[in-house]
A and B are shown apart, each in its own frame.
Chain A
Amino acid sequence: DQQVKQNSPSLSVQEGRISILNCDYTNSMFDYFLWYKKYPAEGPTFLISISSIKDKNEDGRFTVFLNKSAKHLSLHIVPSQPGDSAVYFCAASAASGGGADGLTFGKGTHLIIQP
């Protein structure tokens, strides 16, 4: 059973517009959520995270929103830039981000920014 779901395998957005990537989870024990970005031939790199005590975390053009009641989080990128074209993974942890436990990943969403 998939505990972290990214239901959109791909997403195409025009440059300058907002990109919204969605992620749903089923395990109510998850309390720390992360987004990773992956370019071809490279490993995923950490982008932004959010703890379950918050509902929003912002870092420059990237904002992550968490809706605990809906078990849903989303990553907003605004404005979208060509360099944002990559695969984005949502991940969740039940260890409060302390690094003591592992991560459960979604299958990824391929974001394509159109010029």
Chain B
Amino acid sequence: GAVVSQHPSRVICKSGTSVKIECRSLDFQATTMFWYRQFPKKSLMLMATSNEGSKATYEQGVEKDKFLINHASLTLSTLTVTSAHPEDSSFYICSAPRTGVGGYTFGSGTRLTVV
């Protein structure tokens, strides 16, 4: 149980376009979703925390207008990379806390390549 489905798994887009990444909780309600970006040497950086029905909380240094996060329902959180640039190319992954059980469930990740 407690599965988070993340789509797409891979996407290639042109510079200047926008890309939307979705994370859906399939069998539980995710009131909170964490969005991470993977950097070289495998470290993950927390970008923002989305909460259903309210504005996302962004970490310092993360551009709110560039990385739009929406958490419109208890089962869906989205990250939109707007006006993508090659330096936005990275691996993005979402994670939701497993309420009542403990621990976290991760999505399968999205490999974004901006050309």
Are both chains from one complex? yes
Q: Does B82 count as interface, using CB distance less than 8 angstroms?
A: no
- The smallest C-beta distance from A27 to any residue of chain B, in angstroms, reads 12
- The smallest C-beta distance from B33 to any residue of chain A, in angstroms, reads 13
B-side contacts of A110, CB under 8 Å: 102-103
Interface string of B98-111 (1 = CB under 8 A from A): 10011111101111
Q: Secondary structure at chain B's binding surface: helix, strand, loop or mixed? A: strand
Q: Given A10-B102, A107-B98, A102 and B46 touching (CB < 8 A)?
A: no
- The smallest C-beta distance from B112 to any residue of chain A, in angstroms, reads 11
Q: Does B84 count as interface, using CB distance less than 8 angstroms?
A: no
Q: Is the CB of A108 within 8 A of B103?
A: yes
For the A-B complex, the count of residue pairs with Cβ-Cβ distances under 8 Å equals 63
Q: Does B93 count as interface, using CB distance less than 8 angstroms?
A: yes
A-side contacts of B45, CB under 8 Å: 43
Say which size band chain A's interface belongs to.
20 to 34
- The smallest C-beta distance from A91 to any residue of chain B, in angstroms, reads 8
Q: Is the CB of A97 within 8 A of B42?
A: yes
Contact of B101 (CB < 8 Å), options: A9, A44, A97, A103: A9
Cα–Cα distance between A107 and B91 once the two chains are bound (Å):
19
Cα–Cα distance between A97 and B46 once the two chains are bound (Å):
21
Cα–Cα distance between A52 and B43 once the two chains are bound (Å):
19
Q: Does A59 count as interface, using CB distance less than 8 angstroms?
A: no
Q: Which residue on A lies nearest to B91, using beta carbons?
A: A102
Cα–Cα distance between A53 and B52 once the two chains are bound (Å):
44
Residues of A within 8 A of B (CB): 6, 9-10, 34, 36, 38, 42-46, 49, 87, 89, 91, 93, 97, 99, 101-105, 107-110
